[in-house]
Structure 1
Amino acid sequence: MALPGRNKGPSKFEQAANGEMTLLEHVRELRNRLFKASVSILVGFAVGMWLSGRVRSLLQQPYCELPGSINEKGECTFVQLGPADLFLLDLKIALWVGLVIAGPIWLYQLWAFIAPGLHRHERRYAYIFAAIAAPLFALGATLAFFVVQKGLEFLLSVADQSIETTLEITRYIGFVTNLILIFGVAFEFPLVVLMLNFVGLVSGRKLLSFWRVAVFVFFAFSAVVTPTPDPFGMTALAACLCLLYFIAVGVALLNDKRKGRGKEIYAGLNDDDISPIDFGDAEPVTAGARVETPSAIEPVEPVSGPAPVTPPKPIERNYDDMT
Structure 2
Amino acid sequence: MQGLLLQQRLASASLASCSGRGATPARPAAARPLAARQRRPGGTGWGRAPTQLRAVDDDKFDSLVAPPEEGAVASSVQAWLNPPAEELPDDFEMPIWDHLDELRERVLVGALAAAAAVLTCFVFSKDLVVFLEAPVAAQGVRFLQLSPGEFFFTTLKVGGYAGILISVPTILYEIAAYVVPGLTKSERQFLAPVILGSSVLFYAGLVFSYEILTPAALNFFVNYADGAVESLWSIDQYFEFVLVLMLSTGLAFQVPVIQVMLGQLGLVTSEMMFSQWRFVVVGATIAAAVLTPSTDPFTQTLLAVPLVGLYMGGAACVRALEARRAQNA
Category of TM-score, reference length = shorter chain: 0.5 to 0.7
**How far apart are the structure 1 equivalents of 2:319 and 2:175?**
32
The 3-state SS of whatever aligns with 1:182 is: helix
Query: Which residue of 104, 118, 126 maps to 2:169?
Result: 104
Q: What's the CA shift for 1:230?
A: 5.1
Q: SS at the partner of 2:232?
A: coil
- Shift of residue 46 of structure 1? 2.8
1:124 aligns with 2:189: yes
**AA in 2 matched with 1:101:** I
Q: 1:17·1:116 contact (CA, 8 Å) conserved in 2?
A: no
Structure 2 residue 154 is the aligned partner of structure 1 residue 89: yes
Aligned to 1:279: none
Q: What is the match of residue 195 of structure 1?
A: 261
Distance, in Å, in 2 between the alignment partners of 1:228 and 1:102 is 31
- The structural deviation recorded for 1:198 is 0.8
Find out whether 1:51 has 2:124 as its counterpart: yes
Q: Structure 1 residues 202-211 or 154-163, which shifts more?
A: 154-163
Residue in 2 aligned with 1:317? none
Distance 2:149 2:324 in 1: 59
1:194-273 equivalence runs, <5 A: 194-223=260-289, 225-226=291-292, 227=294, 229=296, 231=298, 233-260=299-326
Mapped to 1, the partners of 2:311 and 2:317 lie a distance apart of 10
Give runs of aligned pairs for residues 1-323 of structure 1, distance below 5 A: 18=91, 20-66=93-139, 68-69=140-141, 77-145=142-210, 146-159=212-225, 161=227, 163-223=229-289, 225-226=291-292, 227=294, 229=296, 231=298, 233-260=299-326
Q: Residue 228 and residue 17 in structure 1: after superposition, are their counterparts in 2 closer, same or farther (change >3 A)?
A: farther
Instruction: Tell me the amino acid that sits aligned with residue 23 of structure 1.
Output: I
State the Cα RMSD in Å: 2.7
SS at match of 1:20: coil
Equivalents in 2 of 1:208, 1:245: separation in Å?
9
**What's the secondary structure of 1:201's corresponding residue?**
coil
Paired residue type of 1:193: Q
Letter in 1 for 2:168: G
The DSSP-based 3-state class of the residue aligned with 2:124 is: helix
Q: Distance in 1 between matches of 2:238 and 2:253?
A: 23
Aligned-residue sequence identity (percent) comes to 28
Normalised to the residue count of structure 1, the TM-score between the two structures is 0.65
Q: Which has the higher contact order (CA 8 A, sep 6+)?
A: 1
Letter paired with 1:215: V
For 1:133 and 1:49, how far apart are their aligned partners in 2?
26
For the residue of structure 1 that corresponds to 2:233, the secondary structure is coil
Structure with the bigger percentage of helix: 2
Distance change >3 Å, CA 87–CA 17, structure 1 → 2:
farther
SS at match of 2:106: helix
Report Cα offsets for 1:159-188 as digits up to 9, x if no partner.
585643311111110100111111111111
How far apart in 2 are the matches of 1:42 and 1:220? 35
Q: Classify the secondary structure of the residue corresponding to 1:21.
A: coil
TM-score calculated relative to the size of structure 2: 0.64
Rg bigger for which structure?
A: 1
Inter-partner Cα distance in structure 1 for 2:291 and 2:165:
24
The 2-side partners of 1:224 and 1:46 are apart by 31
CA distance 1:194–1:51, change in 2 (3 Å): same
Partner of 2:49: none
Structure number having the greater strand percentage? 2
| Count of paired positions | 238
Runs of 5+ unmatched residues, structure 2: 1-88
Contact between 2:125 and 2:155, CA under 8 Å: does it hold in 1? yes
Q: Is the 8 A contact 1:17 1:117 kept in 2?
A: no
